[in-house]
Structure 1
């Protein structure tokens, strides 16, 4: 039987097909190849490779598919040490192996008309596609450089960590060195932290905050970005992943820092959106349930407790300013003090929590509903009395001490405002009204705190400090306008002249965070009649220069003999002839 010669098996091509070569993906070198067959493309092997140089393959930088597309300059041009599996920077890109790539010759040119349409390059419904159609023709995102990240992180740890103790220092600093290796979620967290730090401390302007690392970042060839640019980058990074998928503390804190950034820009709608988003994540992650902490190790449980209580005090302070309701309750234990890595910091944080715990939920419900006569009226007088109790803050950092003491006095002024609002309504009870001159006493205590603290400790609290000073100033102005000449003289001799107090608050707002506060003109308008200001005068005619200290006519120091009421010890308004006996707490500086 004659044996017929077997047909010669055609050898597969030695190069990838034209389409796979342009897309730089692995080709099985069949005709048609599996990629072209799956995508219904015309498979061809017409391109002729003209290899030059040494036998081994040289790695070239990745180029976009579109011949006319341009890529922004990359922050880092170094390849990672492990080049066996180098992934693209875009979180949407699939794993890309250098060994599978086929690089065209540098002289290779191809008309744009021969490229397949972008919508045909990859199928969104395909499960084994190696390329995402959303990235076709687009360069991978450029992330913030390591010096930029590290500079902002160092400033955060120095000025903001005492009031936001919810990050791990070592891990945070380590993440700054290789931002291109971070996950999309972690990078968005870092970018939002940088934006909040930059905007809260007003690093764009002549802010008093100066850090060598931050200044060095601008001198090493890495131009410093503005706060608005950092915020835009953080929002863009947040969109690179699904927030609801794999929700954790990083997603929650990203929303919190975005709230802080927008709040310090006085964009309250966006700030409220991200704060609500963060508080909603608290319930999703179960941070409000004490039982959820029993399954965690001690370090992780304490970290989650600090995050919960930071959201608790932030929501309560912001909701009172903006007349919003609150969602969080004091439903879990507070962080440990003795077992903490920084017991003094934890002690100060718990004291701040205790201040806001004195505010009842019914108070927020009443305020958010408009403060009408319907419903239960909050006990503003008893809340003010509890807020007036002295707090021992020995050893607490200056930044924390300023936050706790000024917040304590500000809340008393807010209770006074609410009591006055209730007193003007029909059917209200007189016993709910606090002493009329209470804002003058708490304002005097606040100026004692500010004069004893450094400018950086005051500026670290951002726009929130400006808003608290403005609230105090308007309350003092209301008192001053309503006093008769004789009553004003008596108050001036016994406590302090309200006009001098207004001058001190205006002077502070004129230079807070290195520049004039956005609330300064509004307070000036309310004080013109009281201070007898001529409209033709400029601000420099009656305010001290920003480079000099406040004038000596404002002796706010608590140890000044002219103000014995600020000596440590409770101050009773009944000594001034008031029958209600309200108190103002001591200032332990």
Structure 2
């Protein structure tokens, strides 16, 4: 029997099926009057909710078409959400060698290759290059709601609230894929935009939470954070995302990749809105969901589509490598964290990419798309992180020595990159230099440095050489490339300076340094790097492109 648009009053009160006739079959059988006089209960959020959303997101929050209009099958809202989707192309990062990087570290500026350049060598590319990691181009047909999508007409409980914010959500998704996804690809962008175009965020709680978490993070881009009311908008979106995410009955039973992506993205947004503990809780949740989904079993990938396989690999790689970065940077950014314990110490190698992937996946395109800075952190095993943090030897005897230090240095220098944007180039080059300085710091605490070493990395003056290379990288990059990496980059630069200052402050400092002509020039370099680093550490936004 077909579903009727309106039941009679008696059937509505008794909550029974109605055939919509006058009189209907049930009323005729019961010999009672059959009327259609009662008004239907108004759907959608209450007046206070609408007023609050209008205050936070502007008067446009209540101007979109009602959900009941969509339910009726009209297309009046087809242009509402995804009409401002970004347009550009995307290409994977190549893992080939990069001759321009060494040129940059020796003082040469980078040559920007435009789309008309005939050269095929690896160069820094602008956002107008066909090789840049820019937002996606989708055909217009993708962006209109599909009449036969699999979600039916069962809206989730908070769909009405989300629809009131849909215009703003569309704008923030544009910002996320334009400025964040290219350097933090933890979701399949084309799939997300297709699903958003098909209005899945109104039917699927998990996907709605993912969309709102991305939007809340986009509000911390500099140009969004400068707008009035951005903090309230971010707080509203992250709370709605949390409500949808936490109330999903499948979360703790059969999680999916959307759940993991949401936990990871939301953790970054929560750190900016509610502090370190909120970040830590959601970060640990992402690890727990990885284990619950059994991503440590390579056979799980066989059930994924190609896009899902790529997303799974990206998620696990970013979780494991990001954990190593957070262990070294976050305590210094957040101040005193007496109870901070890196997640790698809790999870060990459970989330390490190589322990869950088969050989064929190690050379897959999904790995090739992972940015080179993330690959840099793969050298940071748990032992090295603990040596740098001064926490080694608590469980097992420490085996860090000169040979181990040189192996880390060589492995770090062997990491290569492909086509990079200016922000990615700054992150890759300066992070690599920062880690060289951190390995040297571990050498000092383990008495590994030597008076006349064979390798320059084991010399006492090595941080000054790293400082000189850092200045050459900063001077060779376009303006804004370093600042685009946010507060964490400021802390990395300060750590490089601190190591160099420790050498320059010695009672009898070395008389000469490789790549630096004098003590006075080294002090000028200290001032130059601090000039760049100091404003960054106080900013309240994250890395962006």
TM-score class, shorter: 0.5 to 0.7
Pairing 1:232-271 to 2, within 5 Å after superposition: 232-242=239-249, 243-264=251-272, 267-271=275-279
1:423 is paired with a residue whose SS is coil
- Is 1:149–1:194's contact at 8 Å kept on the other side of the alignment? yes
* 1:184 shift after superposition: 1.5
User: Taking CA–CA contacts closer than 8 Å with sequence separation of 6 or more, which of the two structures ends up with the larger relative contact order?
Assistant: 2
1:436 is paired with a residue whose SS is coil
- Is 1:436–1:479's contact at 8 Å kept on the other side of the alignment? yes
Matched, 1:311 2:333: no
Pairing 1:150-549 to 2, within 5 Å after superposition: 150-176=170-196, 178=199, 181-199=202-220, 201-206=221-226, 226-242=233-249, 243-264=251-272, 267-321=275-329, 322=331, 324-326=342-344, 327=347, 328-329=351-352, 330-331=354-355, 332-333=357-358, 340=365, 347=368, 349=370, 351-366=372-387, 370-371=391-392, 375-379=397-401, 381-423=405-447, 434-482=458-506, 484=508, 487=511, 493=517, 497-512=521-536, 516-517=538-539
Separation in 1, partners of 2:44, 2:412: 66
Distance 1:366 1:441, change over 3 A: closer
* 1:410 shift after superposition: 1.4
Matched, 1:148 2:155: no
Distance 1:28 1:295, change over 3 A: closer
For 1:72, the equivalent position in structure 2 comes to 50
Once the two structures are superposed, residues 471-512 of structure 1 have per-residue CA deviations (whole angstroms, 9 ceiling, x without a partner) of: 223223322322547748998525873322222222213444
Once the two structures are superposed, residues 73-99 of structure 1 have per-residue CA deviations (whole angstroms, 9 ceiling, x without a partner) of: 4463433434389xxxxxxxxxxxxxx
Separation in 2, partners of 1:265, 1:415: 33
* 1:226 shift after superposition: 4.2
Larger-gyration structure (1/2):
1
* 1:59 shift after superposition: 6.4
Once the two structures are superposed, residues 347-389 of structure 1 have per-residue CA deviations (whole angstroms, 9 ceiling, x without a partner) of: 4626444422222332245567723587224345224422452
Unaligned runs of at least 5 residues, structure 2: 1-7, 19-31, 52-61, 75-156, 332-340
Once the two structures are superposed, residues 73-126 of structure 1 have per-residue CA deviations (whole angstroms, 9 ceiling, x without a partner) of: 4463433434389xxxxxxxxxxxxxxxxxxxxxxxxxxxxxxxxxxxxxxxxx
Question: Over aligned residues, Cα RMSD in angstroms?
Answer: 4.5
Distance 1:171 1:365, change over 3 A: same
* 1:140 shift after superposition: 6.3
Once the two structures are superposed, residues 249-297 of structure 1 have per-residue CA deviations (whole angstroms, 9 ceiling, x without a partner) of: 1110111112222445693332222222212222222223323324444
* 1:205 shift after superposition: 4.2
1:497 is paired with a residue whose SS is helix
Separation in 1, partners of 2:539, 2:195: 34
Count of matched residue pairs: 403
Once the two structures are superposed, residues 199-243 of structure 1 have per-residue CA deviations (whole angstroms, 9 ceiling, x without a partner) of: 3x344545xxxxxxxx9xx9xxx9895434433333333233242
- Is 1:143–1:180's contact at 8 Å kept on the other side of the alignment? no
TM-score normalized by the length of structure 2: 0.61
- Is 1:187–1:237's contact at 8 Å kept on the other side of the alignment? yes
1:376 is paired with a residue whose SS is coil
* 1:465 shift after superposition: 1.7
Separation in 2, partners of 1:64, 1:255: 26
Distance 1:282 1:181, change over 3 A: same
- Is 1:337–1:347's contact at 8 Å kept on the other side of the alignment? no
Stretch deviating more after TM superposition (482-491 or 253-262): 482-491
Separation in 2, partners of 1:161, 1:202: 16
Separation in 1, partners of 2:160, 2:318: 35
Stretch deviating more after TM superposition (400-409 or 448-457): 448-457
1:443 is paired with a residue whose SS is helix
Matched, 1:26 2:15: yes
Separation in 2, partners of 1:153, 1:438: 44
Once the two structures are superposed, residues 376-423 of structure 1 have per-residue CA deviations (whole angstroms, 9 ceiling, x without a partner) of: 243452244224525543433333322222221111111122222233
Separation in 1, partners of 2:320, 2:219: 23
**Structure with greater helix percent:** 2
* 1:143 shift after superposition: 5.6
TM-score normalized by the length of structure 1: 0.57
Distance 1:333 1:261, change over 3 A: farther
* 1:195 shift after superposition: 2.0
Distance 1:257 1:28, change over 3 A: closer
2:487 is paired with a residue whose SS is helix
- Is 1:256–1:275's contact at 8 Å kept on the other side of the alignment? yes
1:166 is paired with a residue whose SS is coil
- Is 2:208–2:244's contact at 8 Å kept on the other side of the alignment? yes
* 1:141 shift after superposition: 4.3
Separation in 2, partners of 1:142, 1:154: 17
